[in-house]
């Protein structure tokens, strides 16, 4: 298909650039012949794309020129293809190969496709975010590309969403604000350590594949959650918000950066053994009248009908967003909000296998206090074919908004009521206020896409299809279905 051609150029058979390996090459080379070189997308294993080349021999220069100009015209008429890109490279992401990856694998492809670039190598954390917020001349570009990992992608999302709201005069602090969708698409050239967003939107973390998705002008809408505390904006989340287990794992692993990637397994095991639970109140607004539910076993894939249908509903019936809030109080080992499946090679099914990238909802998973053994059963089901939500102490709800208040933040009158209901709680409350006594801490932290939030009492709203990526979703159903890896939790 024309849409998967990268570029065509005219060569000269006599120039020494003559290639004899084109699959459709029919004519015997003659010195007066001219050649047309065509580069195109070829699919290989595991969602990887390659840029392959075919050479056509043409006996007449005029005919060849006609071919080249006609195909080039068709390529230029493809509306979604970017012509000018703003590129941010994190030289320190992952294995610190961002610069090399871009220069050797990506930049030559962009040049071949006739894409002009403005490249900025970041000098400090949040450089890309701050540049996008204030200085970047966004009108000059068709997209923003980040070379790095999920942290770098998050920076670009924060910069671009902030700038879009600021330009449109939207107050992003208000949890109820209707945010403006971003005009520019975002491309991710994976050069991080986890590349979770690439796995979710492309199916692999291969720089050439991502570059080709950018060149052909793919577009994958994505929801973004905004996280607030007391009507103040805290952060955006694209993949996972986790309190309790995943918050504690992150807090502990941050203290052990010197261990390298092994720190996640170490902190995971330690947090599991510690088995802390946290009291609090979760309120949520269920997503009503939409297609799909968290346990229907459908997977979000390229051209996802659930995302298309629910995205349309969201656009047409904004009133649906007002419904009845529900409240759950209790002791939780984990509270997770998964805005996408969060599947990656380490966790083949992900936290919520049927979650969607762009349906305007997040899957709120509540794991209530249970025994260590039961919690282990729940965790192990993330790597098996069994339903991880089919357990008495686990609830999952597809929601549009939610709030969490840890118990120590509850109002005095609520605490008093609790104390009257159960005198024993007085002792536990005293312990919480005096952690020196060695009992369990009263509160955990929120893990927001790998960053620790500064507040525990939060309000979260999902913004349907707020951003678009240069991606198309995973093309086939089978991906990372390797349930043999016991570490994949």
Ligand X SMILES: Nc1ncnc2c1ncn2[C@@H]1O[C@H](COP(=O)(O)OP(=O)(O)OP(=O)(O)O)[C@@H](O)[C@H]1O
So which residues are the catalytic ones?
Answer: 150
- Which CB, 155 or 279, lies closer to ligand X? 155
- Which CB, 188 or 282, lies closer to ligand X? 188
Q: Give whole-number Cα distances, 128 to 88, 90, 92, 175, in Å.
A: 6, 9, 13, 25
151 binds ligand X (CB under 6 A): yes
118: β partners: 86
159 binds ligand X (CB under 6 A): no
Selected from 11, 82, 94, 175, the binder of ligand X by CB under 6 A is: 94
- Which CB, 204 or 410, lies closer to ligand X? 204
Measured between alpha carbons, how far is 120 from 110 in angstroms, rounded to an integer? 16
- Which CB, 64 or 250, lies closer to ligand X? 250
CA atoms within 13 A on the CB side of 191: 28
Selected from 148, 268, 311, 360, the binder of ligand X by CB under 6 A is: 148
- Restricted to residues 286-345, the positions that interact with ligand X (CB under 6 A) are none
CB of 390 to ligand X, least distance (A): 31
- Which CB, 41 or 152, lies closer to ligand X? 152
Q: Are 439 and 425 in contact (CB under 8 A)?
A: no
- Restricted to residues 36-65, the positions that interact with ligand X (CB under 6 A) are none
CA dihedral 230, 457, 282, 357 (to 10 degrees): 80
Stretch that binds ligand X, among 84-92, 307-315, 462-470, 475-483 (CB under 6 A): 84-92
Measured between alpha carbons, how far is 178 from 88 in angstroms, rounded to an integer? 28
Q: Which residue is nearest to ligand X (CB)?
A: 149
Stretch that binds ligand X, among 21-29, 60-68, 90-98, 166-174 (CB under 6 A): 90-98
CB of 82 to ligand X, least distance (A): 21
Q: Are 224 and 466 in contact (CB under 8 A)?
A: yes
Stretch that binds ligand X, among 27-35, 145-153, 285-293, 333-341 (CB under 6 A): 145-153
CB atoms within 10 A of CB 70: 11
- Which CB, 149 or 360, lies closer to ligand X? 149
Selected from 20, 45, 79, 123, the binder of ligand X by CB under 6 A is: 123
Measured between alpha carbons, how far is 454 from 262 in angstroms, rounded to an integer? 25
149 binds ligand X (CB under 6 A): yes
Selected from 16, 62, 124, 392, the binder of ligand X by CB under 6 A is: 124
**Count of positions on this chain that bind ligand X (CB under 6 A):** 21
CB of 345 to ligand X, least distance (A): 13
Selected from 93, 159, 221, 348, the binder of ligand X by CB under 6 A is: 93
Measured between alpha carbons, how far is 259 from 71 in angstroms, rounded to an integer? 53
Measured between alpha carbons, how far is 337 from 362 in angstroms, rounded to an integer? 6
Stretch that binds ligand X, among 30-38, 147-155, 253-261, 320-328 (CB under 6 A): 147-155
- Restricted to residues 168-207, the positions that interact with ligand X (CB under 6 A) are 192-195
419 binds ligand X (CB under 6 A): no
Measured between alpha carbons, how far is 224 from 70 in angstroms, rounded to an integer? 40
Phi, psi of 278 (to 5 degrees): -135, 140
363 binds ligand X (CB under 6 A): no
- Which CB, 194 or 444, lies closer to ligand X? 194
- Which CB, 57 or 122, lies closer to ligand X? 122
CB of 207 to ligand X, least distance (A): 13
Q: Applying CB under 6 A, which residues contact ligand X?
A: 90-94, 122-127, 148-152, 155, 192-195
């Amino acid at each position: 298909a024309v849409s998967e051609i990268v570029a065509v150029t005219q060569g000269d058979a006599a120039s020494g650039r003559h290639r004899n390996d084109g699959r459709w090459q029919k004519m015997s080379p003659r010195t007066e012949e001219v050649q047309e070189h065509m580069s195109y997308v070829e699919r290989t294993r595991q969602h990887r794309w390659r840029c392959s080349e075919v050479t056509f021999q043409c006996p007449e220069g005029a005919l060849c020129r006609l071919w080249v100009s006609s195909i080039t015209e068709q390529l230029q008429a493809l509306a979604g293809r970017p012509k000018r890109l703003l590129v941010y490279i994190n030289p320190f992401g992952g294995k610190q190969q961002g610069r090399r990856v871009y220069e050797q694998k990506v930049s030559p492809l962009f040049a071949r496709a006739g894409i002009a670039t403005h490249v900025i190598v970041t000098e400090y954390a949040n450089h890309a975010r701050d540049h996008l917020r204030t200085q970047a001349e966004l009108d000059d570009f068709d997209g923003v590309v980040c070379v790095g990992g999920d942290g770098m992608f998050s920076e670009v999302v924060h910069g671009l969403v902030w700038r879009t709201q600021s330009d449109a005069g939207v107050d992003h602090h208000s949890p109820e604000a209707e945010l403006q969708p971003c005009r520019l698409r975002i491309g991710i050239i994976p050069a991080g350590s986890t590349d979770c967003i690439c796995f979710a939107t492309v199916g692999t973390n291969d720089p050439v594949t991502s570059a080709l998705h950018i060149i052909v002008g793919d577009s994958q809408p994505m929801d973004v959650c905004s996280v607030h505390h007391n009507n103040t904006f805290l952060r955006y989340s694209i993949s996972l918000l986790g309190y309790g287990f995943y918050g504690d794992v992150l807090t502990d692993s941050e203290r052990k950066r010197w261990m390298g990637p092994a720190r996640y397994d170490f902190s995971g095991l330690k947090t599991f053994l510690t088995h802390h639970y946290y009291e609090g109140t979760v309120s949520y607004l269920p997503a009503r009248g939409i297609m799909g539910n968290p346990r229907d076993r459908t997977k979000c894939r390229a051209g996802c009908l659930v995302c298309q249908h629910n995205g349309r509903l969201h656009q047409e019936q904004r009133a649906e967003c007002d419904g009845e809030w529900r409240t759950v109080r209790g002791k939780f080992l984990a509270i997770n909000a998964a805005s996408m499946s969060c599947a990656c090679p380490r966790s083949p099914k992900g936290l919520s296998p049927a979650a969607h990238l762009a349906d305007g909802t997040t899957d709120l998973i509540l794991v209530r206090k249970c025994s260590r053994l039961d919690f282990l059963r729940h965790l192990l089901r993330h790597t098996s074919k069994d339903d991880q939500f089919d357990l008495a102490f686990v609830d999952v709800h597809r929601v549009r908004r939610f709030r969490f208040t840890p118990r120590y933040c509850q109002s005095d009158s609520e605490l008093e009521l609790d104390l009257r209901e159960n005198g024993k709680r007085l002792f536990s409350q005293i312990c919480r206020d005096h952690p020196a006594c060695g009992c369990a801490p009263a509160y955990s932290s929120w893990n927001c896409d790998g960053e620790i939030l500064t507040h525990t009492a939060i309000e979260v709203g999902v913004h349907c299809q707020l951003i678009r990526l240069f991606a198309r979703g995973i093309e086939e159903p089978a991906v990372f279905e390797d349930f043999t890896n016991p570490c994949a939790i």
